[in-house]
Amino acid sequence: MSRIGRKPIVIPAGVTVTVDEAAHSVTVKGPKGSLNSNYHPLMTVKVEGNEVLVTRPNDEPKARSLHGLTRSNIANMVNGVVHGYEKKLEIVGVGLRCQKQGSNLVMNLGFSHQVNIPDTEDCTIVWQDPNHFTVTGIDKQKVGQYAAEIRAKKPPEPYKGKGIRYEGEVVKHKEGKAGKGKK
């Protein structure tokens, strides 16, 4: 049995979980909002008391791989509607900075133009200072995807480390031409 799949998901107070077995979907409503997700037809999801249980029909490799995944996805939905998720990003480099203008994050990244990043209906950008901002939301997958799209505007380069990176991300530096040495 999958250790993760066997663990029941405890439903906190103020959260409602409804399972539609015909459509194979789970809806989670909480203080921060509502999330809906589909799960694979092989899995069985049941709400018993204040717990959600995910079971699988057999020990086939396909069912085993989906068991822990389904349980983790539902647990992330429950956590998202209660606490939410955030990804912290930082801008490193001389002349690189950002600022919030209305619902847009305007970034100067060394290009000939400014880069505008709007808030979406699922993700909000919280600005702290010219070099730090945070992407927040209730859906873990969408927050991570949006943060990755922002980071892709100017990923950290390996020689000086300039660019947008996740907070705490370690960028491996290369030496460059002068560091090659003689034969």
- What does the pLDDT look like over 138-164, one tens digit per residue? 999 999 999 999 999 999 999 999 999
pLDDT of residue 50: 93
Range 5-18 burial, b when 16+ CB lie within 10 A, else e: beeebebeeebebe
Fold (topology level) of 9-83: Outer Surface Protein A; domain 3 (3.90.930)
Domains of the chain by residue range: 9-83, 85-166
Tokens at residue 125, please?
A: 């950008």
Q: Which of 101, 108, 105, 88 is nearest to 162 (CA)?
A: 108
Q: Is 85-166 assigned to CATH 3.40.50.300?
A: no
Q: What is the mean pLDDT of residues 46-65?
A: 93
The pTM for the full model equals: 0.89
Q: Let me know if the fold of 9-83 is the same as that of 85-166.
A: yes
